[in-house]
Homo-oligomer: A and B are copies of this chain.
Amino acid sequence: MMAMSLTGRSTVCRWLAYSGSPILIEELLYKPKHSLIDQSLHARLGVETTNGDGFGIGWYADDPEDGIPAVFRDEGPAWSNRNLRELAAHVRSPMLFGHIRASTGTAVQQTNCHPFRHGRWLWMHNGSIAEFLRVKRDLVLQVEPSLYPYIEGSTDSEVMFFLALSLGLDHDPPAAVERMVDLVERVGRKHDVKYPVQMTVATTDGQQLWAFRYSSEHRSRSLFFSSDVFALRQMQPDNPNLQLVSEESRLIVSEPIVDLEGAWNEVPESSWGIVQAGDDELHPFTPRAA
């Protein structure tokens, strides 16, 4: 039987979420120094890795008829994907998710690429469920049976999404994610997994954007949000498009995408935030029983 993991590969995916004034996608994905696409070739922080195992973007139209976001995903590397570059140069969006993947062994295929979508919802994840193959069946059994057939891929990240959907994502996203993490931790511990969850997660319904940082070990992957619109504008001082973004525009990223003192705030360990019209919020994250 073919062993599917390559020794020494780490599992750091990278992602970016934007909410704000409608903007050409390339302004976010390609033009900044140390952009997400550059990161797909070379990472700076944390474990050195290559994110060449697929990518995806999800976006909402500027004038949505039905509120369903578009999803563009491919199993090849982002850095050489010409279709992504074309699309990024011609499509504007007020809400964008971008993700580049480093597989831990699950198949490199489109249905394993983030973001995942269900109805109006998008979901993307960096991290892992520890010992996933050992706990997968127990977790999948907890997915609402009517949702079960919509699971298309084989990743832990998609199972987390469908558990959160089953636990109320549509009504109270922070509570649903706290319940999902509690469930994964309980199942993991039943299987003697010491630290079952490692995650940063972003999810949105097209109106609000939630971000989560948590790990069972309390040593979570990094997560940052842009302190204010000035940070966005400074990403490219000479770019008139960026100077026009509104005061409320925000970026949330797994790694800072430009070197600016004070431009980025780290999301604290074990916390979640919401980006929305009106004031953004930041709260502690505590797994809770369903």
Contact = CB atoms under 8 A, between A and B. Distances in A.
Interface of A: 1-2, 6, 8-9, 37-38, 41-42, 48, 50, 52-53, 59, 61, 68, 70-77, 79-80, 82-83, 85-87, 89-91, 103, 106-111, 118-119, 133-134, 136-137, 140-141, 145, 148-149, 151-154
A83 B83 contact: yes
A134 B111 contact: no
A71 B151 CA distance: 25
A153 B119 CA distance: 22
A182 B73 CA distance: 39
A42 B38 contact: no
A86 B67 CA distance: 13
22 contacts: A1-B68, A1-B118, A2-B89, A8-B38, A9-B41, A42-B50, A50-B52, A53-B77, A61-B90, A70-B86, A70-B87, A72-B83, A74-B83, A76-B76, A77-B77, A87-B87, A107-B109, A107-B110, A111-B154, A134-B149, A141-B141, A153-B154
Given A50-B41, A70-B89, A154-B111, A82 B149 contact: no
A103 B80 contact: yes
A203 to B, nearest CB: 17
A48 B41 CA distance: 10
A45 B15 CA distance: 30
Contacts of A86: 2, 70-72
A41 B102 CA distance: 11
A2 B82 contact: yes
Given A6-B38, A41-B50, A52-B80, 9 more contacts: A52-B52, A68-B89, A76-B76, A76-B77, A91-B91, A134-B149, A136-B148, A136-B149, A141-B141
A80 B53 contact: yes
A218 to B, nearest CB: 28
Contact of A87 (B72, B77, B80): B72
A70 B41 contact: no
Contacts of A119: 1
A6 B72 contact: no
Given A9-B41, A108-B80, A145 B149 contact: no
A41 B6 contact: yes
Contacts of A133: 149
Contact of A109 (B2, B68, B110): B110
- In the A-B complex, the 4 residue pairs with the smallest Cβ-Cβ separation, listed nearest first, are A133-B149, A70-B90, A52-B52, A80-B108
